[in-house]
Amino acid sequence: MTAVAFIGLGVMGAPMAQNLVKAGFDVIGHNRSPARTDTLVASGGRRADSVADAVRDADVIVTMLPDSPDVEAVVLGEGGALETARHGALLVDASTVRPETSRAVAAAAEARGVRALDAPVSGGEAGAVEGTLSIMVGGDEEVYESALPVLRAMGSTVVHVGPAGAGQTVKAANQLIVAGTIELVSEALVFLDSHGVDLGAAVSVLAGGLAGNAVLQRKAPAMLARDFTPGFRIDLHHKDLGIVLAAVREAGVALPLGTHVAGLVASLRAQGGGSLDHSALLLQVESLSGRDNELRSRPV
């Protein structure tokens, strides 16, 4: 049985690790908050008290962490994954981080005889639970092929997109598209509501036409119910759009709409909306339209 160390059992990581257990892998989980491992243990996984304990005998190491500094600490730091991983182990970083972080991890892994891939995911909490994530993978193609059994246990769309860091570049583009789409769906809903249209009916017909998209299907019902319980927090999308803007500056290309949406996300976060789901951009549009000036009193 392939042993998989899974580091980071948050909203996304916990169900991803559970799907690996369901697929027959021996999963050893570790999380900074130990209580997070309880669900994994209940589903048949094992608990590790440290990163070193988790990865020491693992064939595959999967990390699902919030940001670049977390990956650098857990993977590259003292007592981290690379310091303890056995020669020939496979490291799969499913976090969303800067492309240069993934390239640095890949170089450090190679120096220690560990194969590394950056494999960020898209699909939200629902995709993680259902095992239907879209996984964009950067790294050596042969290493990618060897990782497919693990990746396919967590996602239904798994694609190799280029060398180290390429997965993160594609994920940045994904986050740009998602943020822009949420913003436009929010604007459409406020526009429709201002004309007294039946919003449920409008969403239904729009979803069936050329305007149909995953945001309308997955997010609009909760937006109409004004339920912004976080599946993916504004704080995290703000971080991801920061990655986009940094990469854009490096490439020297223009993102006129994307830059504006990033500003709207930053504004919502500054107003106290960071812990809300990213679909709460609807509240920002309402506020800008003079239809809601009590954003801070909105329940999470």
Mean pLDDT, the chain, rounded, equals: 94
Q: Note whether 206 and 152 are same-domain residues.
A: no
Q: Note whether 222 and 199 are same-domain residues.
A: yes
Q: Note whether 213 and 231 are same-domain residues.
A: yes
Q: Note whether 148 and 291 are same-domain residues.
A: no
At residue 162 the predicted structure's pLDDT band, cuts being 50, 70 and 90, is very high
Q: Note whether 117 and 260 are same-domain residues.
A: no
Q: If you average pLDDT over residues 167-183, what whole number do you get?
A: 97
Sequence-separated (6 or more) residues with CB below 8 Å from residue 246: 98
Q: Count how many domains the chain has.
A: 2
- pLDDT at residue 268 is higher than 80: yes
Q: Note whether 60 and 103 are same-domain residues.
A: yes
- pLDDT at residue 294 is higher than 70: no
- pLDDT at residue 299 is higher than 60: no
At residue 297 the predicted structure's pLDDT band, cuts being 50, 70 and 90, is very low
Domain end residue (candidates: 163, 192, 220): 163
**What pLDDT sits at residue 292?**
65
User: At 116, which CATH number?
Assistant: 3.40.50.720
Q: If you average pLDDT over residues 118-141, what whole number do you get?
A: 96
At residue 291 the predicted structure's pLDDT band, cuts being 50, 70 and 90, is confident
Q: Note whether 144 and 251 are same-domain residues.
A: no
**What pLDDT sits at residue 58?**
97
> Do 295 and 273 meet the contact criterion of CB atoms below 8 Å apart?
yes
**What pLDDT sits at residue 1?**
66
Q: Note whether 191 and 155 are same-domain residues.
A: no
Domain end residue (candidates: 163, 190, 215): 163
**What pLDDT sits at residue 114?**
98
Q: Note whether 252 and 122 are same-domain residues.
A: no
Q: If you average pLDDT over residues 269-274, what whole number do you get?
A: 96
**What pLDDT sits at residue 167?**
98
Domain end residue (candidates: 163, 178, 204): 163
Q: Note whether 145 and 263 are same-domain residues.
A: no
- What are the angstrom distances between the C-alpha of 228 and each of 10, 288, 292? 18, 18, 15
Whether this model's pTM surpasses 0.85 = yes
Better-scored residue on pLDDT, 295 or 257? 257
pLDDT tens, 43-95?
A: 999 999 999 999 999 999 999 999 999 999 999 999 999 999 999 999 999 99
Q: If you average pLDDT over residues 256-284, what whole number do you get?
A: 96
* Sign of the torsion angle spanned by Cα atoms 177, 162, 11, 124: positive
- Is position 171 annotated as part of the catalytic site? yes
Q: What angle do CA 161, 166, 169 make, to 5 degrees?
A: 115
Residue with structure tokens 């690790």? 17
pLDDT tens, 204-232?
A: 999 999 999 999 999 999 999 999 999 89
Q: Note whether 121 and 237 are same-domain residues.
A: no
User: 224 is in which domain, residue-wise?
Assistant: 169-297
Q: Note whether 15 and 121 are same-domain residues.
A: yes
**What pLDDT sits at residue 295?**
39
Question: Pick the catalytic residue: 22, 171, 219, 239?
Answer: 171
**What pLDDT sits at residue 296?**
40
pLDDT tens, 227-246?
A: 999 989 999 999 999 999 99
Q: List, as one string, the DSSP characters of the chain.
A: --EEEEE--STTHHHHHHHHHHTT-EEEEE-SSGGGGHHHHHTT-EE-SSHHHHHTT-SEEEE--SSHHHHIIIIISTT-HHHHPPTT-EEEE-S---HHHHHHHHHHHHHTT-EEEE--EESHHHHHHHT-EEEEEES-HHHHHHHHHHHHTTEEEEEEEESTTHHHHHHHHHHHHHHHHHHHHHHHHHHHHHTT--HHHHHHHHHTSTT--HHHHHTHHHHHTT----SSBHHHHHHHHHHHHHHHHHHT---HHHHHHHHHHHHHIIIIITTSBGGGHHHHHHHHTTS---GGG---
> Do 158 and 139 meet the contact criterion of CB atoms below 8 Å apart?
no
Q: If you average pLDDT over residues 105-125, what whole number do you get?
A: 96
